[in-house]
Amino acid sequence: MTIEYITLKPSGDKMPLIGFGCAKIEPDATAEVIYNAIKTGYRLFDGGSNYYNEKEVGDGIRKAIADGLVEREELFVISKLWNTHHGKDHVRLALEKSLQDLGLDYVDMFLCHFPIALEHVPIETKYPAGWCVPGKTQVTRARAPMHECWAAMEACVDAGLARNIGVSNFNVQMLMDLLSYCRIQPSLLQVELHPYLQQRILVDWVQRQGIAVTAYSSFGPASFAAGGLKHAKSVQSLFDNPTIKDIAAKYNTSPAQVALRWSLERNVGVVPKSLSVERMKNNLEALNWKMDEEDVQAINQLDMGLRFNDPIIKGWDLPIFY
């Protein structure tokens, strides 16, 4: 199996194009799942404090290292700054808490999870904090400007706590503002990206700035429908889409691999998740074949601008994508 990488700027670090997503895994199962993913061949792990399983992700990583499956330097570990810790005095504390839970000295990538500053919740009060301050039922925005937050993230790089920093769920306007004052340019943008939400203008512009792009939710509505989101249940599964199924049949592969390969053809990284070792292996195989341009173009016609991970859908008064 050939592992492909994106070379990140400005560090020059190599980030695997395909990794393993740590969201929506029950904590009790997480350590074993992460261990199995490492054993299967995954080297990038996309985690975050608000996934509620960062300690267990660390348990799986440490067991794999202890058993000689991998060395720390071979892994690319991502964590994320949650919205309640954007204050300039809170950023490093949040990263140090993630490192403590992961049992690591540094992360390879530290992402600002959302371009949203919410009222601070101290770690000792509630962790992970979630969207609302304890006792409230709606979000409360905080006066924590991104330029101060980003400077604090840059300081984490200076301190050796994070090798790279980047952003998630940012649009072009937000990135233009960030690029106007940053000392360390973001290495990565992570966004929801799948055949039903292709974001071509965003991806093309970001890549032209020398910023890598990674897709989450590569399977579109699948995990959201499983979680009960009506918005996701109302559309056809990507795995049942005739175009995706026909292309999968052409290459004698799975619809899941087709969805992943479509992103890889754009030099966009992917972080699929599965609890099944067989599906882990199947997803990783997306690295090992090429898709004809005519098939890429056929999938390009499926774009509906259909977003599933949106604070508005969750019921929060945060229309960041509008």
Residue type, 140: T
Residue 51: active-site member:
yes
Containing 297, the helix (H) or strand (E) segment is helix 293-300
Which candidate in 35, 51, 127, 196 is catalytic? Answer: 51
β 14-16/5-7 pair status: antiparallel
The C-alpha angle with vertex 113 and arms to 108 and 116, in degrees rounded to 5, equals 145
Q: In this structure, what are the phi and psi dihedrals at residue 104, rounded to the nearest 5 degrees?
A: -120, 160
Structure tokens at 310: 């949106």
CB 21 within 8 A of CB 46: yes
Strands (E), 154-204: 165-168, 188-192
Beta strands in 67-218 (DSSP E): 76-81, 109-112, 165-168, 188-192, 212-216
90 is in an annotated binding site: no
Torsions phi, psi of 68, nearest 5? 80, 15
Q: Which residues are catalytic?
A: 51
The binding site for substrate comprises 113
The binding site comprises 113
